[in-house]
Structure 1
Amino acid sequence: MIDISRTLNADTPTWPEDEPFSYDLTASKAETGSVNIGQFTTSCHTATHIDAPFHFNDSGLTVDQLPIDLYMGPVLIIDLTTKQRITPEDLNFINLSDVRRVILKTDAWPNGDPFPTEIPELDSRLGAFFHEHGIELVGVDLPSVDPLDSKSLDTHHAFEENDIHILEGVALDGVEAGHYYLSALPLKLEGADGSPVRAVLQSI
């Protein structure tokens, strides 16, 4: 089992102006006589998380409306660590037969590093390309599938238009390209635009 989740703590990098992660022990065992009770606050898009279409489309599906089988099953990790821009042409040599989920490894945001100032760009044409090849979930080791300063979010929208869902912020340090079994289930958050996940790979 390989944990590809980023740790949530006070030092977890977050989107600028986003709600940072915090955990507080609001009642101790000494106070309650039986248990410790904590609470946490965070943005839905901190560390390793999924985007629901509602994140960028007011009429898009929310987290609780997404089919959970998207986030469990065989996945192909593709090594694209030399690319500053990822296009369909970069993937023409990959055999995507019988592949439903892919994770693109860029190594552009190593686990533990501060929030990046720039990341590789994913060409919006990848939406149609992945749809043509039967891909339904695309993961990245980046905070976003679009440039960090994008307001139009072209790749997010291209993915939604092609029924492709998004997993962001996975930690792939030391993980080799190849086939694995993925589990990255979101919390069942009613009406939410995203959710943290505990993303785990298993060798197959």
Structure 2
Amino acid sequence: MSLPFSGPKPLLWDISPPVHAATPVFPGDTPYQQKWAASIGPGCPVNVSEITLSPHVGAHADAPLHYSEGGASIGDTDLAPFLGPCRVIHAIGCGPLIEWAHIAHAIDDTLPARVLVRTYARMPVDRWDPQLAAYAPATVQALAERGVRLIGIDTASIDPADSKQLPSHMTIRRHDMRVLENLVLDAVDEGDYELIALPLKLVTADASPVRAVLRALR
């Protein structure tokens, strides 16, 4: 349950977790690593870093290539689903699967084409959670039937961490939907916002980090 907010509400919410060497990653993924290729000093006017990471570190957008052989890379994926009106729905403490009953209270005829579900009271930005909550495939199917083009969640996957069949990913593949994972929705009330979460134009990659933000509707 969200605590009441006192004072003026913000106009912009940063819903991206911090990315650094201690950022948790899906087991087997490449963690964030950074080293300095150049440093300010005699003969060098700039700092230049070199980074290595999985494109699934932090808030990120999956490309169809991630879960579909021959699917589009993130650089060839339409940007439109990642920008526009969205609805944040709370299903805090629900799981292991987010069923339709957990989000039905926030579904009506004005549902935008983007839906983000908050499952954590406080998103664990400092540790891997093997018990992460995920979408039930039937919930994804029902959202698709209502015109939803993008779903998001504050966990590392829309499928359970130990899933090998990835039924929710297969559902978004069938409906050509898009997905955002690892969002931080701790400070976001239920309601409608503008989502801005554009992936990088990584022309051969299976995903991309995003700097995901919500903006108040005017």
TM-score, normalization by structure 1: 0.94
Residue identity matched to 1:202? R
Cα drift, residue 108 of structure 1: 6.4
How far apart, CA to CA, are the structure 2 residues paired with 1:191 and 1:98?
A: 33
Residue identity matched to 1:42? L
Q: Is the 8 A contact 1:111 1:173 kept in 2?
A: no
Q: Deviations over 1:31-62 (max 9, x none)?
A: 55221111111001111101111101112111
Residue identity matched to 1:175? V
Q: Deviations over 1:153-197 (max 9, x none)?
A: 111011110121110000111211111111101000011100000
Is 1:68 matched up with 2:79? yes
Q: Is the 8 A contact 1:26 1:39 kept in 2?
A: yes
Cα drift, residue 126 of structure 1: 2.3
Q: Percent identity?
A: 34
Cα drift, residue 121 of structure 1: 3.4
Which residue pairs with 1:140 in the alignment?
153
Residue identity matched to 2:126? D
User: 3-state SS of the aligned residue for 1:92?
Assistant: helix
User: 3-state SS of the aligned residue for 1:75?
Assistant: strand
From 87, 96, 101, the equivalent of 1:89 is: 101
Which residue pairs with 2:7 in the alignment?
none
How far apart, CA to CA, are the structure 2 residues paired with 1:107 and 1:90?
A: 13
Unaligned runs of 5+ in 1: none
In the TM superposition, what are the counterparts of 1:114-153 in structure 2 within 5 Å? 114-153=127-166
Cα drift, residue 97 of structure 1: 2.4
Runs of 4+ in 1 over 4 A off after TM superposition: none
What RMSD over aligned residues (CA atoms) do the two structures have, in Å? 1.5
Is 1:172 matched up with 2:182? no
Which residue pairs with 1:201 in the alignment?
214
Q: Deviations over 1:112-134 (max 9, x none)?
A: 33010212232111232111110
TM-score, normalization by structure 2: 0.88
Range with bigger deviation, 181-190 or 120-129: 120-129
From 5, 10, 14, the equivalent of 2:16 is: 5
Q: Is the 8 A contact 1:97 1:133 kept in 2?
A: no
Is 1:57 matched up with 2:68? yes
Is 1:191 matched up with 2:204? yes
Q: Is the 8 A contact 2:134 2:157 kept in 1?
A: no
Is 1:37 matched up with 2:48? yes
From 39, 57, 73, the equivalent of 1:28 is: 39
Cα drift, residue 98 of structure 1: 4.7
Q: Is the 8 A contact 1:109 1:141 kept in 2?
A: no
The number of residue pairs the alignment matches comes to 204
User: 3-state SS of the aligned residue for 2:137?
Assistant: coil
